Amino acid sequence: MTPHAQSADCRPATSGIWRVLAGGLVLGTAALLGACGGGGGDTAGVGTGGTGSFSVGTVTGFGSVFVNGVRYEDNGTRLVDDDGTVKVLGTDDNPLRLGMVVEVNGRVDDSGTVRTATQIAYGAEIKGPVTAVEVAAGTFDVFGITVRTNATTVYDNFGGVATLATGNVVEVHGQPDTNGRIVATYVEREATSVAAFVAGDGEYRLRGAVAGLSGSSPAYAFTLRGVAIHTDFSTEFDGTTANGVSVSVRLNPAQRGDGSYLAERLKVRTASYDDSSSAAEGEVEGYVSDFISAASAFRVAGYAVRLGEGVAYDDGVAADLKNGIRVEAKGSIDNGVLVVTKLEFKSRDDDDDGDDDDVSGGSQEFEFKGTAACVSCGATSGTFTVKGVTVSYDAGTEFRDGLSGATLDGKTVEVKSVGEVTSSGTSHRATRIKIDD
């Protein structure tokens, strides 16, 4: 996306949908809420005590769920995917995985310390066939769209970019950068070939802004990120489409003779705080766009933000703020804009080459809270599971509260770990284990 001047209010990241609304094609309230990942329920915490809470970022742990390192109680939380399918944590299986990018609506109690997620929206940025692999650059293409990886990318079922091949089918979660690429936070290899994927009744997925729209309802033709797509009477629509509108589509993997894919479902998406109450706390992590100066509003991950007074900067200074870098913005929501009180730099682009570099330069830290179940606990090294995740420990692991490999089994623990890429995917090595009190 090319940065451009745009006022940041409660509009979505792509303002086309609001031009449609102004023209008289009105979306219903349910559709708007669904476009933000669903709606309904007490997502803003009204009437529950405390204040509302809103967060966009990466899942970094379980027990309950951690997003951007912040813990949210999640028993009874609604999980909503791009198809509108709802699951309830504590009742249904948990589809969330470490590294997935999610949008959390919830509340904070009166003490300001306990956060509860009432709804979590999630979905893949892209799922489809690998069309190119550049191992040295740490990139691969899906549908011809470049996917960037870095030291914090989580891999499921395969050993990273070096083990990918054209024709593999992958599911990628992450965030678009300002150069039209997807920066992957989680990648799962779904199949080693398109034929195997299709035989398993697989479906492709893609998010992006509608371009080149032609036709009339329900038979449209358009492109998303350069991928040709068409709709027909069988397509399920959630919202009104138009050029510039951000959507997610579920695609039939059978490509037509003209190279296009049939959208089985199309859902309009917005980047807004519509489900959050005024003065709710907010935290958004993602790429900066529409930045002109510190005095004007801009966007992070497509969400409207502006700098408040006396902003505290972490891992950078005000002069480092520019388009194309990744930040974590924290503050409170005021009239559809996140007023930032703290800005943490996650990446920088000091040479202005469009390829930002992570500030940490290291692996992602994860956190788990739950009961440890030993798989193979030895004197100085071993493995155990916690919240369904297998974690190893070794001589470099810090044990606290009298714990050791010999006493770990059955204890309720808090585990800090780092991800390490192996041939079967990202594994987790504990850096610290303590009693969860």
**pLDDT tens digits, one per residue of 183-223:** 999 999 999 999 999 999 999 999 999 999 999 999 999 99
CA–CA separation, 298 and 4 (whole Å): 10
| Domain locations in the chain as residue ranges | 36-122, 126-199, 281-358, 365-435
Burial of 224 (0-12, 13-18, 19+ CB in 10 A): buried
Show pLDDT as tens, one digit a residue, over the chain (437 residues). Answer: 333 333 333 333 333 322 233 222 233 333 333 333 333 333 333 334 578 999 999 999 999 899 999 999 998 999 999 999 999 998 889 999 999 999 999 999 888 789 999 999 999 999 999 999 999 999 999 999 999 999 999 999 999 999 999 999 999 999 999 999 999 999 999 999 999 999 999 999 999 999 999 999 999 999 999 999 999 999 999 999 999 999 999 999 999 999 999 999 999 999 888 877 778 899 999 999 999 999 999 999 999 999 999 999 999 999 999 999 999 999 999 989 999 999 999 988 777 776 777 776 667 899 999 999 999 997 789 999 999 999 999 999 999 999 999 999 999 999 999 999 999 999 999 999 999 98
Through-space distance between the first and last CA atoms of the chain, rounded to whole angstroms: 46
Domain 281-358 top-level CATH class: mainly beta
Structure tokens at 77: 């939380």
* DSSP per residue, 293-317: -TTS-EEETTEEEEEEEEEEEESS-
- Tell me the pTM: 0.87
DSSP for 315-349, written as a single string: SS-GGG--TT-EEEEEEEEETTEEEEEEEEESEE-
Whether domain 126-199 has CATH 3.40.640.10: no
Amino acid at 94: N
Please determine, looking at this structure, whether the domain spanning 36-122 carries the CATH number 2.40.50: yes
CATH number, domain 365-435: 2.40.50.140
- 3 state SS for 49-90: CCEEEEEEEEEEEECCEEECCEEEECCCCEEECCCCCEEEEC
SS3 state at 105: strand
